[in-house]
């Protein structure tokens, strides 16, 4: 659906802001582009809908090479790619209804079609009673709901979100993220979101790319990134590598709390395998509508196969890590 291959972006001042960008975003994904400020996330998002150009490589969206589209084609192409921003970009002079109706009016839809779509969207974003209000009378969260409705008027199959919750307080952020998640499930729209906040990623994304200085430093499913904890993730969230025992072997395993209780699994390993081990780390993080528990245990060399076979049998994902906290690659 969205495929970047060897993409490179250079600004006029010769500043290389994106280099060798590769990713594949599938239909229905909620894909996060995450990284520190200045990493190139917004620029990359803008390459997806042609708001900015790129000098090398490819960005294929809905089957089109974005940089090859002419002015007329790009207007048509953008019907399928909605976008929302940190500061909502609503027109202050117009009512909420008119703000949402704007794209359809530009495309000269009939009054009847516009009315039916705008009412459907007002219902979706739970703002029916605000149709006649002006943006200044709405809270930040409500304004972002209007912006989401406006982005959906042309029935796009992709929604781009540029730091869409960065100007909102935590509970409003969660309600906007839950709305985006509902929309993703209800209409199957693919969402690409730019954020510097891990909590946003944890709440709605299934896959991410971590950007550092214009390059992708790590990418994969959110679950794999949590399990593997690549250096780019640790740098982003500011976590030091843990120092683990050199003796024996260290295993990190992770599982969904909805499927297994953490303590229950640990007790089962002790009881069923009849082995001794040390728990070096344990944590539980929210992930979408679930929680993921992660443990690092140190076991005797001789118990390695026993434990890893047991984890495999119970469909618990694991990796071996070295004593400096980095993943062992076999
Ligand atoms: P992020 O979204 O991760 O904060 P941006 O994509 O906004 O990063 O910016 C990436 C880099 O590109 C930054 O170094 C920024 O200064 C630079 N940049 C952004 N826009 C322009 C521009 N119009 N001209 C030159 N450099 C730019």
Residue range(s) in the chain whose domain bears CATH number 3.40.50.300: 2-234
Residue nearest to atom 22 of ligand 1 (CA): 11
Distance 66 CA to ligand 1 centre (A): 20
Return the beta strands (E) in 89-236 as ranges: 158-162, 190-195, 207-212, 215-221
With beta carbons less than 8 A apart as the criterion, state whether 276 and 285 touch: no
- Which CATH topology does 241-329 take? Alpha-Beta Plaits (3.30.70)
- Provide CATH 3.30.70.260 ranges for the chain: 241-329
pTM over 0.75: yes
pLDDT tens digits for range 198-226: 999 999 999 999 999 999 999 999 999 98
CA–centroid distance, residue 17 to ligand 1 (Å): 7
Q: Which residues line ligand 1 (CB under 6 A)?
A: 11, 13, 15, 17, 35, 37-43
CATH class of 2-234: alpha beta
pLDDT at 329 over 70: no
Instruction: Tell me the pLDDT of the chain averaged across its residues.
Output: 92
Q: Tell me the per-residue pLDDT of 252-301, one tens digit each, with 9 for 90 and over.
A: 999 888 777 666 788 888 888 989 899 999 888 888 888 888 999 999 99
Helix (H) or strand (E) holding 265: helix 262-273
Under a CB-based contact definition with an 8 Å cutoff, are residues 196 and 182 in contact?
no
| Phi, psi (rounded to 5 degrees) for 273 | -95, -15
């Amino acid at each position: 659906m969205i495929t970047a291959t060897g993409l490179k972006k250079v600004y006029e001042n010769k500043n290389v802001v994106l280099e060798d960008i590769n990713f594949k975003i599938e239909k229905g994904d909620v894909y996060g582009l995450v990284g520190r400020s200045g990493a190139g996330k917004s620029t990359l998002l803008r390459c997806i809908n042609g708001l900015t150009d790129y000098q090398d490589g490819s960005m294929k969206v809905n089957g089109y090479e974005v940089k090859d589209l002419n002015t007329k084609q790009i207007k048509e192409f953008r019907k399928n790619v909605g976008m929302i921003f940190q500061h909502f970009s609503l027109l202050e002079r117009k009512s909420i209804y008119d703000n949402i109706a704007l794209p359809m009016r530009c495309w000269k839809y009939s009054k009847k079609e516009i009315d039916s779509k705008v009412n459907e969207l007002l219902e979706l974003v739970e703002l029916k009673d605000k149709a006649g209000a002006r943006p200044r009378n709405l809270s930040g969260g409500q304004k972002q709901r209007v912006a989401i409705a406006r982005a959906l008027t042309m029935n796009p199959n992709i929604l781009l979100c540029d730091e869409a919750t960065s100007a909102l307080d935590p509970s409003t952020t969660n309600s906007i993220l839950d709305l985006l998640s509902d929309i993703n499930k209800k209409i199957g729209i693919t969402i690409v979101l730019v954020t510097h906040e891990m909590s946003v990623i944890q709440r709605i994304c299934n896959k991410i790319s971590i950007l550092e200085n214009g390059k992708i430093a790590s990418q994969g499913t959110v679950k794999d990134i949590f399990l593997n904890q690549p250096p780019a993730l640790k740098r982003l969230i500011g976590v030091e590598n843990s120092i683990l025992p050199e003796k024996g072997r260290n295993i990190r395993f992770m599982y969904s709390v909805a499927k297994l209780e953490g303590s229950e699994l640990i007790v089962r390993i002790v009881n069923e395998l009849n082995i001794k081990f040390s728990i070096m780390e344990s944590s539980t993080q929210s992930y979408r509508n679930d929680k993921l528990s992660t443990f690092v245990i140190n076991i005797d060399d001789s118990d390695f196969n026993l434990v890893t076979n047991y984890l495999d049998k119970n469909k618990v994902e694991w990796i071996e890590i070295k004593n400096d906290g980095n993943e062992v690659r076999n």
